[in-house]
Chains A and B, each alone.
Chain A
């Protein structure tokens, strides 16, 4: 029954070099861009100063941390603007392959990223930038004394899982299979936030969601870690998209996400480093 706040030591070490790393990385990535996009005759390619708007499609679970990163980015590079579209990774992937004008795609699973790469809509190889682990969300103060994944198989408990078609559901299924547990939920929810909300609204007693979602919900739910979640850790890949009209700035944003400074924001939200 450990409340999920225990990761900080390594993070503290990187914090110091964060800002410097950020500057170095973004500078380096824009000169990168000069080399690669030189023939594109794109407006930003000729100058090393970043500008213009970047549209980032990102998994819903990244909302809080990416918004923070977006503000940091705009502050560090006056004249730039980062616009986000958050949603289910599958839905975002579908709209990218359908021709949505996006510069960057950050997805919650390699499987959904593959939809985009299979369609040839990526401009760079996707890189894993964070990982997310499952956690059990229970009612505040854990009245049902849930201590393990096995406790959820108790038929008196109303448990909700994500549907198998979405990343959090696929991960939960993997964890259950690995531990040879059979769990019959009351509902397979369509995404991780709606699974969590059933617990927040006290309609369900527990849900299997991401650690980051438990953290974002604050004291409305209580998180219970379980060892089997190690068997079902989700990788989050990020990539530059072919459609991008502003590759220099887009690359700089990706660099920020991967930088020590970016990782600091993400780990503070509960993500694991790759």
Chain B
């Protein structure tokens, strides 16, 4: 302990950001939080955390082992992890170039394109699912041809889950990467191109390493969003254990007749999400 004696009052103070902490942090942040900000901030925190705590309190701890060792739960969890990861990969492959386009290339209607790209963020996921059905369903605008030319139908398949999740999650990645790209100095790229690198080489060797933390942050966000995706998935991909039944679907259906199982499943999903977000957030999100 290099700080002043931690007596009771000081300990309480440091919890609420009082004097001792201020002395420690003064160089970095420039003072403790004023009360008019601190109180609503804490209410905000409680608002977000309380429901999750309630889940812990109401959890059927005694029957938990039985609930969690069923094959259906493992199938659903496994499928969730695989699909969320695949959806993130898809988002990276097509989302990063899209973000680059939005950040670096001037073209007419860029504002509109940006709005369209972020639309899935605000759209109810069920609407996304219906839209996907209209586009890629067996009878859809594009899906009709996929079916008659390649015999490929996407609804009710694991690929369908990945597509639904990518549709909903990719905007998170695009927004994050675009923001990082705008903050990154384009002169590095320009220097690289004047030294003879092609634009793609400059992107690959200069820009990408420069914005890596932003890409990683976006990927984590997209992954977490994909993991929690429900509406578009159940609408577009349906619900079949082991093939399209991800954890959120399992939770929803369990809630119909076995709320305890639903709570247990929710906790698993919560634990996985928190583990990943907490493990990566400090490293990537603040690095950008």
A189 touching B254 in the complex, CB below 8 Å, given contacts A201-B133, A203-B133, A203-B138? no
Shortest CB–CB separation between residue A112 and chain B, in angstroms? Answer: 9
Binding site of A, secondary structure by majority: helix, strand, loop or mixed?
loop
- Among B138, B244, B256, B258, which residue has its beta carbon within 8 angstroms of that of A166? B256
A190 touching B252 in the complex, CB below 8 Å, given contacts A201-B139, A203-B155? yes
**Contact residues, B116-150 vs A (CB, 8 A):** 133, 137-139
**In chain B, what residue has the closest Cβ to A187?**
B238
Shortest CB–CB separation between residue B268 and chain A, in angstroms? Answer: 19
| A160 engages B256 (CB within 8 Å) | no
Shortest CB–CB separation between residue A165 and chain B, in angstroms? Answer: 4
Measured between beta carbons, the chain B residues less than 8 angstroms from A201 are 133, 137, 139
A186 touching B254 in the complex, CB below 8 Å, given contacts A202-B139, A203-B133, A203-B155? no
Residue interface mask A252-269, B partner, CB < 8 A = 1:
000000000000000000
Say if the beta carbon of A158 comes within 8 Å of chain B: yes
| A185 engages B256 (CB within 8 Å) | no
Measured between beta carbons, the chain B residues less than 8 angstroms from A165 are 253-254, 256-258
**In chain A, what residue has the closest Cβ to B257?**
A165
Shortest CB–CB separation between residue A184 and chain B, in angstroms? Answer: 9
Docked CA distance A186–B160 (Å): 12
| B139 engages A188 (CB within 8 Å) | no
| A188 engages B254 (CB within 8 Å) | no
Say if the beta carbon of A248 comes within 8 Å of chain B: no
| A90 engages B139 (CB within 8 Å) | no
Docked CA distance A88–B156 (Å): 23
Measured between beta carbons, the chain B residues less than 8 angstroms from A188 are 238-241, 245, 253
| B252 engages A185 (CB within 8 Å) | no
Shortest CB–CB separation between residue B176 and chain A, in angstroms? Answer: 32
**In chain A, what residue has the closest Cβ to B234?**
A190
Docked CA distance A201–B256 (Å): 25
Say if the beta carbon of A242 comes within 8 Å of chain B: no
**In chain A, what residue has the closest Cβ to B139?**
A202
| B253 engages A186 (CB within 8 Å) | no
Shortest CB–CB separation between residue B218 and chain A, in angstroms? Answer: 31
Of B155, B234, B241, B252, most buried by chain A (CB within 10 Å of CB) is B155
**Contact residues, B207-242 vs A (CB, 8 A):** 234-235, 237-241
Docked CA distance A248–B254 (Å): 37
A88 touching B240 in the complex, CB below 8 Å, given contacts A203-B133, A203-B138? no
**In chain A, what residue has the closest Cβ to B244?**
A187
Residue interface mask A148-172, B partner, CB < 8 A = 1:
0000000000101001011000000
**In chain B, what residue has the closest Cβ to A170?**
B257
**Contact residues, A184-233 vs B (CB, 8 A):** 185-190, 194, 198, 201-204
| A186 engages B156 (CB within 8 Å) | yes
**In chain B, what residue has the closest Cβ to A163?**
B253
Shortest CB–CB separation between residue A153 and chain B, in angstroms? Answer: 16
What are the 9 A-B residue pairs with the smallest beta carbon separation, nearest first? A187-B238, A165-B256, A186-B156, A202-B139, A90-B256, A165-B257, A203-B155, A188-B239, A203-B137
20 A–B contacts, CB within 8 A, in A order: A88-B256, A158-B156, A163-B253, A163-B256, A165-B253, A165-B257, A165-B258, A166-B256, A186-B155, A186-B240, A187-B237, A187-B244, A188-B239, A188-B253, A190-B239, A194-B235, A198-B155, A202-B137, A203-B138, A203-B155
